[in-house]
Chain A
Amino acid sequence: MSKGVLVIARNNKNIDYVKQAIFLAKNVSKYLNLPTSIITDNANYVTEHFDPTVFDKIISIEYDDAMNSRSFYDGGLASKSDNFKNSSRSVVYDLTPYDETLLLDSDFVINNDMFLKCFESNQDLLLYKDSCELSNTRNTKEFTYISDTGCEFYWATCVFFRKSSVNKIYFNLIKHIQDEWNHYRRLYQIQSNLFRNDFAFSIAIHIMNGFSKGNFFGEMPGKLIYITDQDILWEKQDDKMTFLVAKKDYLGEYYAISTKGTSVHVMNKFSLGRIIDEELLNEG
């Protein structure tokens, strides 16, 4: 059975997801000793600006500029509005070159080998349900249920899946939900019209479980640890990272917090970009 990590990178005007994917692939190689393949709509950019050998396979998809606009924050005081190109996650089942795939967001910083446990699991589909926000000051209700009256929330940030007939049905269902997003967001009473993969994956689980809770999927090992884009990744040295997490009700003020040997989903893509630039510079 072939095993590997899959990452999607589709740049917009402000965020270089390909650079994040390069950084992720290096960490995957270091901590998990697994190959990483990239799905991108600009393969030329990968080969012309970076060392493409960090990737096992470069999988091209069609360039699509359909607008799905949202704000990207860089700490509490700065933000930019740009296109959120998140419509390709549903096709990963068809595009993955692996029998066992760990699908990761490009802004996930790996600092340990915890994800290797996924490949030991007897469940063919694993997602995170439980999460831990580093600042511990925000209301995380939005990461418990997809809406006040909706189903439970599951993260599409890290998904482990094996090729199986049932998983094929699941990913095809996600495509259908994405195609009919306006219908499903009303059905599940989601107020924002922004398409979010977390919601589509959660709704699909709810449907696959017979519109109830059940054992259609298993939970990823541990909790998903994250900072929001209103927090800042300040420094990274090997597996130690220092963050500035926003003080509640004090805009622009932060507490410092550090982690060591802990993998973290860094939603502040600008601060992650700065750290990656430093690392690439140090590598020469």
Chain B
Amino acid sequence: MDERLEKALEFSNFMVTFNNQKRVLKEKYSQDLIYYYVGAQFTVTKELINFCYTLLSSDNTEAIILDDNDLPIQISNLQEFHTNILDIYFTASNEYFNKYVALKKHRSVQGLVEINV
């Protein structure tokens, strides 16, 4: 095989593994962003965080927000809700970041798979 092609295919194989591992991390991140409040499921997003912040900034203490099932949920303590989703966002994002940084350091397929993240 032409050496140029061989090198390219080797790198291609590495990239497939890298992208697969990154996808697994992203799925884990998505799971970590799920928050249950009074039995309703919310996926913490930047939009949700900002919307709550906007409501709090205009002196609202409670609000109706749609959950992941598009059902209206009464948030009776908006400040507590906002604090909790912010905490979840930071915890999940930091974990994702740290794992991604660790993943990026590896330059071999074996290293990518054996890494403990």
Interface residues of A (CB under 8 A from B): 112, 114, 117, 120-123, 132, 134-136, 215, 218-219, 221-223, 225, 240, 242, 245, 255-262
CA gap between A9 and B36 in the complex, in Å: 32
Q: List 16 A-B contacts (CB under 8 A).
A: A112-B31, A120-B36, A121-B36, A121-B41, A123-B69, A132-B27, A219-B41, A219-B69, A221-B31, A221-B36, A222-B27, A222-B30, A255-B17, A255-B20, A258-B114, A259-B24
Task: Verify if B40 is at the interface (C-beta below 8 Å from A).
Answer: yes
CA gap between A136 and B16 in the complex, in Å: 10
**Which residues of chain B are within 8 angstroms of A256 by Cβ–Cβ distance?**
17, 109, 113
**Which residues of chain A are within 8 angstroms of B79 by Cβ–Cβ distance?**
none
SS of A interface (majority): mixed
How big is chain B's contact interface, by range?
A: 20 to 34
Q: Which residue of A lies closest to B20 (CB)?
A: A257
Q: Is the CB of B21 within 8 A of A257?
A: yes
Task: Verify if B71 is at the interface (C-beta below 8 Å from A).
Answer: yes
Which of B24, B36, B113, B114 contacts A134, CB < 8 Å?
B24
Q: Which residue of A lies closest to B19 (CB)?
A: A136
Task: Verify if B101 is at the interface (C-beta below 8 Å from A).
Answer: no
Q: Assuming the A-B contacts A255-B20, A262-B24, A262-B28, are A222 and B109 also in contact, with contact meaning beta carbons closer than 8 angstroms in the complex? A: no
Q: Is the CB of B31 within 8 A of A122?
A: no
Interface membership of chain B positions 30-57, coded 1 if the CB is closer than 8 angstroms to chain A and 0 otherwise: 1100101011110000000000000000
Q: Assuming the A-B contacts A120-B36, A123-B69, are A223 and B23 also in contact, with contact meaning beta carbons closer than 8 angstroms in the complex? A: no
CA gap between A256 and B28 in the complex, in Å: 18
Task: Verify if B68 is at the interface (C-beta below 8 Å from A).
Answer: yes
Q: Is the CB of B16 within 8 A of A255?
A: yes
Interface residues of B (CB under 8 A from A): 13, 16-17, 20-21, 23-24, 27-28, 30-31, 34, 36, 38-41, 68-71, 109, 113-117
**Which residues of chain B are within 8 angstroms of A112 by Cβ–Cβ distance?**
31
CA gap between A245 and B17 in the complex, in Å: 10
Query: What are the 9 closest A-B residue pairs judged by CB atoms, nearest first?
Result: A122-B39, A222-B31, A120-B36, A256-B113, A257-B20, A258-B113, A221-B34, A218-B69, A259-B24
**Which residues of chain A are within 8 angstroms of B31 by Cβ–Cβ distance?**
112, 114, 221-223, 262
**Which residues of chain A are within 8 angstroms of B27 by Cβ–Cβ distance?**
132, 222-223, 225, 262
Q: Is the CB of A122 within 8 A of B40?
A: yes
CA gap between A219 and B36 in the complex, in Å: 13
Q: Which residue of B lies closest to A234 (CB)?
A: B113
**Which residues of chain B are within 8 angstroms of A261 by Cβ–Cβ distance?**
28
**Which residues of chain B are within 8 angstroms of A221 by Cβ–Cβ distance?**
31, 34, 36, 41
**Which residues of chain A are within 8 angstroms of B68 by Cβ–Cβ distance?**
219
Q: Which residue of A lies closest to B39 (CB)?
A: A122
**Which residues of chain B are within 8 angstroms of A259 by Cβ–Cβ distance?**
24, 28
Chain A proximity of B76: nearest CB distance (Å): 14
**Which residues of chain B are within 8 angstroms of A240 by Cβ–Cβ distance?**
116
Q: Is the CB of A121 within 8 A of B34?
A: no
Chain A proximity of B1: nearest CB distance (Å): 16
